[in-house]
Structure 1
């Protein structure tokens, strides 16, 4: 006996949602506890580890467990055809049409919701690992640097939150006030930015900022990092060097990085304000 655990995260045109993946992990843990030999198989959109679903040998398995999501459609029917010799179980799934071939093809259906009856989803008690949450504030221009940064950060194990600093009252996807934007930043662990807004407001919130200046030779971002005494700055010429970005990411994630950022959040005597007030007092009145 050997079971193959699959779900929508295993199928080529399926979507790997957190609920679906956590459901598969929950089944994995339950089968391991019961000492049932089994494998997990993933599709091209979520193949972090384990088997490629399209390459598994059906003859190797006696059971197939389909986990989470709605049971419907051609791809689920293809599971029945491909694993016709297996005992097929659907668990933690939604059943909209009990007469659908995708549903009737299973030997057992253990639904999470069916005909008005619901049970807690499998993901509700599936454990997760806590990771850092990074806000990404990236300029739309300077596409080469932006591409380097996004490609690099896609390989970092963190929760990624894209943020647009442009304020708008009529667009629900944007903040309407700087207070709203600052409140979001205060809940992050790290900010990754190619914009001055990300550097200044991130440090204002006491959050370590990995700043990448998109301007060759150094622009406003470099000047502001110098003014604030902030070390985690990568020049545009070094944006393609993953090792450099990795090094500063580790520093920003460290106790030292957080401590230095907390110091930058302290109130300062801004020289620009002093000079402006002085100009009012000393300048000519017309």
Structure 2
């Protein structure tokens, strides 16, 4: 053995667990490996291939700080494995060459006859066998699922708009509570929707599967409650506007002003919204709202019997605004003509 690779190996067995650990599936397979070693009474440490993954788990060690002499076994866990990867991660595969190498849940890209650096290979798939992925053995864990439905900037409210502050507080709540989040958007058509939803059926189908909706949108709140889903709403307008007004009408109380609500208030609201009592209240709100609209059809029909009164609109559009509107419509007409192959237009 060359001086470069010469290592005094510890008598005690200690394993080093390495891998990408870049997906939740990778981490689940790592947990399976850890449990097997714990059951066998073998000490171990974990290090990811790259520094970027160190933040996933505070107990993981930096590969450059490890003393190779402490380890007797190297477990290479999950993902594809190729000759190029061994070269790329030479800080591991060169320095720990003396260890017994065991591959766990790997996809071996090359034929084993040409590349297999492992004393023991418990692969996921290779040219000799295929196993079910080890993440199947990890018991599923569950956390609440919340929707996040946000407004953009609403210019009609001017300097009263607090959408950015409301979003910041809701995102902080999500991070602190550890819930799973599905971001949602009420905009149509799909080309303008940030998450590809194209109609009410798609939006409400997601709503119906949530535990809680977090929103700054009126329709984020309304459509969630319509589906019996408890909602935390932050009115994005200082002093309260349509979101607050609608919540009061509905009798739904977890609605807040962005300048006044604190993290503790939102955490308490989330805990309540996750209760069966909150879900029952949301269903009651839905039923009351539907009942309150019973007379709408008659009002709608009566509206069709009213004669016109154009004088109500005599000063609706000032002269300056009228000229600007005409110019805007003319420009839109020219763009449509060009798009339709109308060629160059001269006016």
TM-score exceeds 0.5: yes
Match of 1:182 among 204, 213, 219: 204
SS in structure 2 of the partner of residue 123 of structure 1 = helix
Q: Secondary structure at the match of 1:231?
A: coil
Looking at structure 2, the residues matched to 93 and 163 of structure 1 have their Cα atoms a distance apart, in angstroms, of: 36
Summarize the alignment of residues 154-165 of structure 1 with structure 2, pairs less than 5 Å apart.
154-165=175-186
- Which residue is 1:255 aligned to? 276
**What is the rounded CA distance, in whole Å, between the counterparts of 1:246 and 1:183 in structure 2?**
26
What's the TM-score, normalizing by structure 2? 0.71
Counterpart-to-counterpart distance in 2, 1:227 and 1:149: 23
Could you say which structure has the larger radius of gyration?
2
| Partner secondary structure for residue 165 of structure 2 | helix
Please name the residue that 1:221 is paired with: 243
> Which has the higher mean CA deviation after the structures are superposed, 55-64 or 19-28?
55-64
Could you list the runs of 5+ residues in structure 1 that have no partner in the other structure?
A: 10-15
1:97 maps to which of 110, 113, 135:
110
Match of 1:192 among 178, 194, 214: 214
1:95 and 1:111 in contact (8 A); partners too: yes
Distance 1:8 1:238, change over 3 A: farther
Equivalence for 1:51? 60
Question: Whole-Å Cα distance in 2 between the matches of residues 250 and 75 of structure 1?
Answer: 47
| Total equivalences in the alignment | 278
Question: Which structure shows the higher helix fraction?
Answer: 2
Which of 32, 39, 43 is 1:37 aligned to? 43
**How big is each residue's C-alpha offset from its partner over 1:10-32, in whole Å with a ceiling of 9 and x where there is no partner?**
xxxxxx21211111111122222
Which stretch shows the higher mean deviation, 132-141 or 51-60?
A: 51-60
Match of 1:64 among 59, 68, 74: 74
Give 1:115 shift: 2.0
Contact 1:238 1:244 in 2 (8 A): no
Deviation, structure 1 residue 41: 4.2
Q: Which runs of 5+ in 2 are unaligned?
A: 1-12, 154-162, 310-347
Question: Counterpart of 2:158?
Answer: none
Given that residues 192 and 209 in structure 1 are in contact (C-alpha distance below 8 angstroms), is that contact kept between their aligned partners in structure 2?
A: yes
Structure with more strand by fraction: 1
C-alpha deviation, 1:165, in angstroms = 1.6
1:193-234, Cα deviation, whole Å (9 max, x unpaired):
111121001111101111122222212221221111111122
Contact map agreement 1:137 1:163 (CA 8 A) in 2: yes
Q: Against the structure 1 CA distance between its residues 257 and 280, is the aligned structure 2 distance closer, same or farther, given a 3 Å change threshold?
A: same
